[in-house]
Amino acid sequence: MLRLYNTLTKSLSPFEKPKDEVVSIYTCGPTVYNFAHLGNLRAYVFADLLIRTLKYFGYQTKRVLNITDVGHLTSDADSGEDKVEKEARRERKSAWTIAKEYEKAFFEDWQALNLLPPDIIARATEHIDDQIALIKRLENKGYTYKTSDGIYFDTSKVADYGKLWGQDRSQFLEGVRVEKNPEKKNPTDFALWKFSPKDKKRDMEWDSPWGRGFPGWHIECSAMAMKYLGETIDIHTGGIDHIAIHHTNEIAQSEAATGKPFARFFLHNEFLVDKNGEKMAKSKGQFLSLKEVVKRGFEPLAFRYLCLTVHYRDKLHFSFEALASANEALKNLWRFAGEQKGKQSEAKENISVILKETLLEIEKELACDLNSPRVLAKIWETKKRLNSENLKDNLVYEFLLKIDKVLGLKIKEKTNKLPPLSKKILDLLKLRNTARKEKDYKKADEIREQIEAKGFKVEDIPDGVRLIKDGNTFELKE
């Protein structure tokens, strides 16, 4: 049985739903005012692991990913400037242009990390009417009030406000950034609709029953989740930074409007932190994007692999040393798969028993709150066992492809697209082989260096030579 840690109940709980029913999932997406940093991307690798695991265990899924292209202010507590508008002014472009450019960059990272496409991409700017309708619904039920800068939600009317965080209201105020606003009835009240400034025109603003302006940050997720997934969804995902404010406010406004639970499960991933334990954040002005990592020579999937080495509920300590290790491990995994592909062993029955045992152990780890570090460990333990007995067979390759449906490390692509060796490399190999036979080891080493200068790693094996490049393996028999 699949068990997931539910932030709402603070417990590891069975995920129970008939396999013939669709699992509805809402993933909090990016605010598109800058490049996504590695900490942001970890959340989507985690969500992808969840989706892939559900599919592996036979569930059908429907997932909505939102794009926040308006309404997210520089303070999560409804003060400051709109992040998109602020960046537009800095880059001297329109807010619409900024949002499109960074959304495009985000989905380039998405593809590079081999994340499964969401079923629905919902942009806040394309759902203004839905957000207005939800605010009116809350207004009709008496949950809103008006101030000089907008329409606010009255949190005092929600008895269990803050239940996701698990604190009472006094502790909630001590632990959360809440900007002082003398017009708020309660410090935890939040904006549903913000009025446009009187002294300047915004790029993004709309007419509403309350005045011209733009939606608050939190209302978009409730409106779009309920539009596409219904009033109660199965799973809501996001980073732990969303627990205290964003997801807490989503729950409050959604359940106030419908009288129903907003989500059965809330799943949250921990931060990516540096060696000093500080989380990566755009607000600090220094962060790493995936594109910068690739420029340094790393496989983009090396970051995905690194994420999988740490449980999603544990902090991921990032360093380039750790990324380099993940990069090498990933290539070793591709190499291992390539060595098994197409091989036929006389010990098939023995291999089959080993793989069945390993698969059962892996499925248990996946079912226990997506324990990807243990899944990887089981794979490497099996590799060591097979190598110790010199067992190679296509059964192992097929086994790795099966597990890769969850891991998403492109094992099939990397072993199916082996580029042919050039004539120049083949000629060098022949010359090196001749030099070795003639015991001219100096010349053989010189030729080896020429081959390695082309980006290949050269390994001598008992009956030939093995070349490795970009995770691909070439074995040439003498």
Least confident of 17-26, 47-56, 332-341: 332-341
pTM to 2 decimals?
A: 0.88
Structure tokens at 221: 């997720």
189 Cβ contact partners less than 8 Å away, ≥ 6 residues apart: 152, 153, 154, 155, 156
Name the residue type at position 384: K
* Phi-psi group of 282: left, alpha or beta (phi > 0 → left; psi -120 to 50 → alpha; rest → beta): alpha
pLDDT greater than 90 at residue 436: no
Residue with tokens 């996946």: 366
Q: Tokens standing for 90?
A: 């800095």
For residue 138, pLDDT over 70 is answered with yes
Query: What pLDDT does 174 receive?
Result: 46
74-108 pLDDT tens trace: 876 677 889 999 999 999 999 999 999 999 999 99
Task: Please spell the DSSP secondary structure of 191-237, one letter per residue.
Answer: EEEEEPPSSS--SS-B--TT-SEEE-HHHHHHHHHHHHH-SSEEEEE
User: Is pLDDT of 196 > 50?
Assistant: yes
Beta strands in 7-81 (DSSP E): 11-14, 22-27, 60-67
| Phi and psi angles of residue 209, each rounded to the nearest 5 degrees, phi first | -60, -15
The domains found in the chain, sorted by start residue, are 3-269 (3.40.50.620), 320-414 (1.20.120), 423-477 (no CATH)
Contact between 222 and 31 under an 8 Å Cβ cutoff? The reply is no
Q: With the C-alpha atoms ordered 225, 228, 234, 239, is the resulting torsion angle positive or negative?
A: negative
Residue-averaged pLDDT of the chain:
92
Distance CA 271, CA 42 (A): 8
- The CA-atom distances, in angstroms, between 44 and each of 56, 65, 123, 161, 279 are 18, 10, 17, 27, 16
Strands 464-469 and 472-477 come out as antiparallel
